[in-house]
Amino acid sequence: MAKANSNSSLFLFVSLLLFQVLHFSSSQSFIGVNYGQVADNLPPPAATAKLLQSTSIQKLRLYGADPAIIKALANTGVGIVIGASSGDIPALASDPNAATQWINSNVLPFYPASKIILITVGNEVMISNDQNLISQLLPAMANMQNALNAASLGGKIKVSTVHAMSVLAQSDPPSSGSFIRQDTMRGILQFLKDHGSPFTINPYPFFAYQSDPRPETLAFCLFQPNAGRVDSGTGIKYMNMFDAQVDAVHSALNAMGFKDVEIVVAETGWPYRGDPNEVGPSVENAKAYNGNLIAHLRSMAGTPLMPGKSVDTYIFALYDEDLKPGPTSERSFGLFKPDLSAAYDVGISKSSQVRHNQPCHSLNHNGISFSLACFVRLQ
């Protein structure tokens, strides 16, 4: 009888673990990707939609609101972020009808078949030198929100604006995080809190490494074994730059009384190619950063200040943008080539086995250890 009870208990335990693993494998909504369009060789939207469905990427960020792409993603379940450009801000701020027309043109024809989840108003406006534009940002966001409310979409689609890491006046150590332009930022943060919208930020450990190109910095930025860096304010040891940057944002939010505003990483990535004088770009480094970042997100470890959950993270980028100006690295962030083949493998294909340093789900029952997730395909 005891043996039967033990076997029943073991079966229940293993079944529960297997359920958890299958749930994990099918719910990676925290992995997104950016789709820039400064290129002349991009695949057709339908091909991109099919590509996304073959991966564990569940969210896509557009910098505009390309109707062909939004329509192609209908009924795929892929969450879509669309953007009003910084150039749209003056009209959106001064005329509520402009916001209504924007929603009428870019949201209503497609939603809910196309799963639009967030509208970003402007990109890195707060670090611009255009004081007029900065002062118009919050009114533009408010009018966009009001237009959504009028269309009965308030709460279903959020409104935010995207920030560069340099919106932080200080970020090292992470516990000292603080914002620039705090008077303006306070209004934006209150808006985000009032509407349950996320604070969206672009952390790039790649640029941190370029400014400090030591081997130990590279390992810290690539989630590779390193000595770690201790935050002198908290005593917390950070083992990677991504966590340190995200926690610096959390500290800045907390310092202003907005610690409960969700953080979303709108962009992060690593180029696989660069000019001879550029430090850091390589296939090896890009594969290590993006692959280890995805593994870190899947581990659900979170950051030291926000443990036990993964921040929604949009990797830059889905494809290269061959028409972008600047150094070669600017045109070399793509995870996929125009022919839809992978530039390098980071373990996001649904046909990939759990690998790339993925932790197995394990349990111990009566001294017997089990590891199951290693045999489950990631969805």
Catalytic residues: 124, 267
Q: How many CB atoms lie within 10 A of CB 16?
A: 11
The angle at the Cα of 171, spanning 280 to 195, to the nearest 5 degrees, equals: 110
Q: Is 351 helix (H, G, I), strand (E, B) or coil?
A: coil
Give the integer Cα–Cα distance in Å for 102 and 93: 12
Contact of 151 with 103, CB cutoff 8 Å: yes
Contact of 170 with 208, CB cutoff 8 Å: no
The strand pair at 199-202 and 178-179 is best described as: unpaired
Contact of 345 with 355, CB cutoff 8 Å: no
User: What are 377's two structure tokens?
Assistant: 């395909």
User: What are 240's two structure tokens?
Assistant: 């990677």
Among 229, 139, 151, 233, CA closest to 187: 139
User: Helix (H) and strand (E) counts for the chain?
Assistant: 11, 16
Q: Where are the beta strands (DSSP E) in 214-298?
A: 229-230, 237-238, 263-268
Among 324, 350, 319, 355, CA closest to 335: 319
Element (H, E) at 342: none
Q: Is 364 helix (H, G, I), strand (E, B) or coil?
A: strand
Q: How many CB atoms lie within 10 A of CB 62?
A: 20
